[in-house]
Each structure stands twice: as C-alpha cells, then as structure tokens.
C-alpha cells in the first residue's frame, strides 16, 4: 500500500474547532486539531489508545496503569473528538486515516522513533492502521476487541447527528449488540460531545489484505461473547507474528473492564516482545 504523508504540526496553536476541556494538558496539533496526550512512567514506550466514546482516563479507571507504569513509559492519547482533544463537529475532520497520523504526531513530538501500541476497540482499529501506514514506528502491536476488516460506523450512525442523546445511546447500543448503558456508564457516555462523536463515527476501509505484511510481534484478543470475535480471529490469522487469545464469556465492554484478567497476558507478551 502506498505510504501516506502526515501533515502533522507539533505546535500549540489554537484551532478553529471546539477547544479541549483542559488546556493545561500537553497536546500536539495535526491538521488544525489539537490531540491531547499524557506521559507517565519510565521504560520502553507504550502508547495506550481508548475506544469510541471513551477517553484515555478509562485505562486508569479500570486498573491498567498501575502495573504498566512500573516497567513502561506509558503514553495516553485522547482521540480527536474525545477526552481533552479538540472536538470538531465536521465529518471532514475525521476522514481516515487522519487518526493514524494523530498517533504519529504524538510520537514525533516526544521524539520517539518507535513504540509499542495497545489499542482497544476503535483504538485497536487505529492500531492496525498505524501498523500498515507506518510500520517502522511500532515495536509491537496489541489490539483488543478490534479487527482489520474495516468499520461500518458511518453507515450505522448515518441519521444520527448527536443532538438527541437518547437516540445516540440507543444507536450505539445497537451497533455494539449490547444493552444501553445505565448508571455511571450512561453518565460517562453523556459527558462526551455527542455531536463530535457522531461526526467521528465513519466507515473505514478494510486493511485485512495488508495483515500478511506486518513484521512486528502482535497480540490480538477478544472476549468470547464479543460480536466481532470472528473478525478479530481472522485478522490475527493473517499476521505472521501474531498470537490470538479469547477471554471466555466476556462481551466487548467486559473485556476492556477486566484488567485483572487481560493484563497478565498482555504483560507477558510485552516482556517477550521487547
């Protein structure tokens, strides 16, 4: 696949889009959108990228960071439209593969030639993108609840613009084959800029045919009750240096939340991949 050139600019200029919630956090600008990131811990660099409608803080909330920072320099990234990053409402701001180069812009800002990358769900989709478009920047790839088969999010959200919270929540639940979130989970979801999320929900092309070209060690996993389990397994089977793990009886959300089950496998992979 022909390489695409990043148009990232590692600056701190303000943008014409909705501002980030907390302007004190570090950010890098790519195509006029500020991407928020944070760095903690010491050791080999490891990028963590969250899923759709989440933010980088979710890795801390469910218990991943404490063990990871003991042996890694952890780089937490907020996707455009999420967390402390800028939140454009225009679909053009999320046109694939700009999210790949948001990650590269963060690595460039930190002057890191390579890093391991761990993404969940949407973050895993972006990880497959980084592995294809910028393979020399990854030392290892971990993807959970994701596949390289592309995304139909834009089709699923084609009549949702984020102005009706209930409609957005129902559509997201239908897309993930899960019950609508309740309690704290619903509150966290509604704290997002739903118009930005609706704009970010776009179809992405399949990269499945490129999986055979990946030369970094890969750890691919999914819950046994994840509706995308078969797609994740298929992507892993095409990668020369991939291992695939199924966490039985866990759905898409539970597989992320159960850091106590997932972390030991991931840490073992990272130890042997470095």
- Alpha carbon distance 99, 198 (integer Å): 16
Domains within the chain, CATH numbers bracketed:
8-150+206-273 (3.40.50.1820)
Q: Give how far Cα 68 sits from Cα of 79, 138, 205, 211, 237, Å.
A: 20, 18, 32, 27, 27
pLDDT of residue 38: 97
CA atoms within 13 A on the CB side of 178: 18
- Residues 79-102 have pLDDT tens digits of 999 999 999 999 999 999 999 999
Burial 164-191 (b: 16+ CB within 10 A, else e): eeebbbebbeebbebeebeeeeeebbee
- Residues 154-206 have pLDDT tens digits of 999 999 999 999 999 999 999 887 788 999 999 999 999 999 999 999 999 99
pLDDT of residue 34: 98
pLDDT of residue 1: 41
Structure tokens at 166: 């209930």
Which pTM value belongs to this model? Answer: 0.91
Task: Kindly report the length of the chain.
Answer: 274
Q: Residues of the chain whose pLDDT is less than 50?
A: 1-21
């Amino acid at each position: 696949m022909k390489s695409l050139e990043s148009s990232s600019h590692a600056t701190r200029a303000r943008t014409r889009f909705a501002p980030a919630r907390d302007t004190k956090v570090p950010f890098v600008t790519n195509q006029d959108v500020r991407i928020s990131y944070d760095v903690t811990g010491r050791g080999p660099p490891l990028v963590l990228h969250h899923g759709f409608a989440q933010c980088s803080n979710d890795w801390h909330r469910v218990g991943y960071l404490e063990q990871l920072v003991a042996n890694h320099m952890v780089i937490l990234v907020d996707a455009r439209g999420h967390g402390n990053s800028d939140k454009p409402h225009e679909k053009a701001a999320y046109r694939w593969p700009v999210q790949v180069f948001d990650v590269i812009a963060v690595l460039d800002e930190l002057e890191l030639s390579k890093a391991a990358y761990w993404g969940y769900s949407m973050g895993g989709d972006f990880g497959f993108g980084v592995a294809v478009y910028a393979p020399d920047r990854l030392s290892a790839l971990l993807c959970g609840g994701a596949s390289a088969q592309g995304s139909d999010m834009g089709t699923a959200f084609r009549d949702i613009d984020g102005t009706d919270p209930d409609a957005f929540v129902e559509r997201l639940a239908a897309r993930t084959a899960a019950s609508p979130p309740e309690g704290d989970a619903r509150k966290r979801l509604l704290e997002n800029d739903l118009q930005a999320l609706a704009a970010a929900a776009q179809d992405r092309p399949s990269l499945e045919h490129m999986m055979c070209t990946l030369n970094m060690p890969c750890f691919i996993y999914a819950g046994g009750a994840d509706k995308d389990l078969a797609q994740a397994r298929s992507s892993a089977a095409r990668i020369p240096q991939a291992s695939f793990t199924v966490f039985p009886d866990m759905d898409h959300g539970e597989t992320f939340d159960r850091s106590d089950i997932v972390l030991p496998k991931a840490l073992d992979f990272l130890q042997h991949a470095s």
